[in-house]
Structure 1
């Protein structure tokens, strides 16, 4: 996607940037207060550095971080979740962006509890907003864990995000609220948006509710996808909400493993192995075994993605000749490819770099566990 002229970024591009910046502390261990301050400072630096290209955004809620390990104000933590909201006047109308971080790439709890806890599905617990066409909606235990954590966060002055959004919509009639997040946030943002509608008993009066998820794995089953689509329909082609980065639609790089991780898509089909014959055979066997593990985990569960808009990373970086190269392709296609496609990579360099460093470390760590499991099924070791 070409860069937007320096005079303005589209609303979609601005919301994407605010979304991405929620990950600014993803590679850091610090007090929760300092982690929140780091995100706040990163957002402010973005606003200052892009004055003239963006609306007059200011932080209206948060940032608020949480850790499953506790909330001791002097203890050092990784942030399991990070959430904030920013408001601005866009084209003369009030707008609120609720931005949530993706997986904390250095936090094993995020990977295991909020990303990969998908064998168990639970009933959607936040109400149907008055829509009876999806009577048995279910979401993954991972999604449920993340949404519950976000709803439990509280700004010391403004309270929880549900009450804050409700109050904001009443104070700003005719406004727009956008829920957005990448990666894990790409599953949590549509789910949190739907939870907000459900807990409100339906849509907020005189308010446009939108989502802008990216690189998000599938949150739930067919009924949940139908429930979400009722309140957050894909925009009509040619409308202001459509385009290369449409609202209410998961933005997906076709070479990204994560958005398809909970569906019947094979790892063996993503990238091209250009190594020698021994390495080819070894990797083919390993990936086939990992696919078998995934098939076994998901055999009794059904996941249906929400509406998605696909793109192919340009250039499509899909060739590898080593295990390290394979890891690098997974990370590059899951992270850097997105701001590049959206046309805002120049504004997000530091955050993307932090996310990439942390993710490479964790991909390698968890790949060792998966490799051990696959080898126990009889796969030969990878070179």
Structure 2
């Protein structure tokens, strides 16, 4: 029996979906690597969980050997998962975060200027390709087009064995528990796909047995969507520590990523780590203004999903681009592993530097570009700490 509580185990399964996050290779190469290592890693580090669907590695350009995975997801099963003092037959669908070398992931994260009518899509059939809404009714739930496109892949691409997750979920006992989880991009997709499947009537499980456990997710949609999610997935506090909750985004207050795409929280980003040096402050404000313009051009007001927050010790104020990259990646990744206290999952490829990782975080892409283009002021800051 694992010494980890159920939330730590679920977060560990979420982390395991990211074993390829730093990798490059064709779809077949990456698929083969994960097939060999995923189950072994889960058994050694998390507990009595068995991979029963997938894993599935998907790339929009499957033969491109110089890019990473665009989507990774799998389902694990534990017939004796302990929830407090009770045992439940449990399935977990884990969805990977943004990979270091995936342009497609960046597009999904940042395509918020176009939106999809969530109810209309569900009614039309969520296995059909999402369509951009031609107009917006502020009283109805909408999600970002990028989020909908990401979900479409999860729902329609089969496992290597030829079975979609919809087909598989139709076979599990209706009395079992089902948890949707993921970090960052996975923290945006996992609660949204859970709600889509539930509203489409494709889950046999009783609503009280279906949970979401997103971490560090971005806001997927507007206020009516956040309300619809809360109505179908009430927030459940399951212990005294912030991570011990179901159906809410677990977010570090010092992590910039959960600040997307709500306008108020976006505006808070430039001062999140104290008063930045003038150049960094100017660039941060320019980037945030671009993000705000993208969100506003959607015609929506993006609203975060319900959740619980925690705070790490206040980091030192970054003085250079390098320090800013390091702080943001630390607060977005390692801080969660430390707080939830789940064993670190060994990656199958060496992780890129914090600067390389930064290029796939939407809030950092402008900073990363400035660094690569050799902006003289940026270089001066890096060298002199000015």
Which TM-score band (shorter chain)?
0.7 to 0.9
1:141 corresponding residue in structure 2: 145
Q: What TM-score, normalized to structure 2?
A: 0.81
Deviations 1:264-301 (A, max 9, x none): 22221111357xxxxx2222222222232223222332
Is the Cα contact below 8 Å between 1:174 and 1:206 reproduced in 2?
A: no
Relative distance call for 1:76 and 1:291 in structure 2 (3 A) is closer
Is the Cα contact below 8 Å between 1:177 and 1:207 reproduced in 2?
A: no
1:255 corresponding residue in structure 2: 254
User: Aligned partners of 1:140 and 1:361: how far apart in 2?
Assistant: 21
User: Aligned partners of 1:241 and 1:159: how far apart in 2?
Assistant: 39
Which of 21, 28, 33 aligns to 1:38? It is 33
Note if 1:178 corresponds to 2:199: no
Is the Cα contact below 8 Å between 2:55 and 2:72 reproduced in 1?
A: yes
Is the Cα contact below 8 Å between 1:175 and 1:207 reproduced in 2?
A: no
1:187-206 mapped onto 2 (5 Å cutoff): 187-200=188-201, 204-205=205-206
2:70 corresponding residue in structure 1: 80
2:23 corresponding residue in structure 1: 28
2:154 corresponding residue in structure 1: 150
Which of 276, 284, 287 aligns to 1:287? It is 284
Deviations 1:119-151 (A, max 9, x none): 11111112499xxxx972100011111101111
Which of 1, 4, 9 aligns to 2:4? It is 9
Q: What TM-score, normalized to structure 1?
A: 0.82
1:271 corresponding residue in structure 2: 273
User: Aligned partners of 1:180 and 1:191: how far apart in 2?
Assistant: 10
User: Aligned partners of 1:370 and 1:16: how far apart in 2?
Assistant: 34
User: Aligned partners of 1:66 and 1:295: how far apart in 2?
Assistant: 30
Comparing 244-253 with 152-161, greater Cα deviation is found at: 152-161
Q: CA deviation at 1:361?
A: 5.6
Which of 86, 101, 116 aligns to 2:96? It is 101
User: Aligned partners of 1:191 and 1:33: how far apart in 2?
Assistant: 28
2:351 corresponding residue in structure 1: 354
Comparing 326-335 with 205-214, greater Cα deviation is found at: 205-214
Size of the aligned set, in residue pairs, is 351
1:18 corresponding residue in structure 2: 13
SS in structure 2 at match of 1:301: coil
User: Aligned partners of 1:250 and 1:65: how far apart in 2?
Assistant: 25
Structure 1: stretches of 5+ with no match in the other structure = 1-5, 275-279
SS in structure 1 at match of 2:351: helix
SS in structure 2 at match of 1:200: coil
Structure 2: stretches of 5+ with no match in the other structure = 126-137, 382-386
User: Aligned partners of 1:370 and 1:216: how far apart in 2?
Assistant: 26
Relative distance call for 1:371 and 1:7 in structure 2 (3 A) is closer
Relative distance call for 1:31 and 1:201 in structure 2 (3 A) is closer
1:300-315 mapped onto 2 (5 Å cutoff): 300-313=299-312, 315=313
Structure 1 vs Structure 2 CA RMSD: 3.1
Relative distance call for 1:211 and 1:241 in structure 2 (3 A) is farther
Q: CA deviation at 1:360?
A: 4.0
User: Aligned partners of 1:361 and 1:286: how far apart in 2?
Assistant: 15
Is the Cα contact below 8 Å between 2:242 and 2:308 reproduced in 1?
A: no
Q: CA deviation at 1:23?
A: 0.9
1:340 corresponding residue in structure 2: 338
1:59 corresponding residue in structure 2: 51
Q: CA deviation at 1:198?
A: 2.1
Relative distance call for 1:272 and 1:138 in structure 2 (3 A) is same
Is the Cα contact below 8 Å between 2:110 and 2:146 reproduced in 1?
A: yes
SS in structure 2 at match of 1:319: coil
SS in structure 1 at match of 2:247: coil
Q: CA deviation at 1:99?
A: 0.4
User: Aligned partners of 2:370 and 2:262: how far apart in 1?
Assistant: 18
Is the Cα contact below 8 Å between 2:22 and 2:349 reproduced in 1?
A: no
Is the Cα contact below 8 Å between 1:212 and 1:249 reproduced in 2?
A: yes
2:114 corresponding residue in structure 1: 120
SS in structure 2 at match of 1:159: coil
Is the Cα contact below 8 Å between 2:151 and 2:193 reproduced in 1?
A: yes
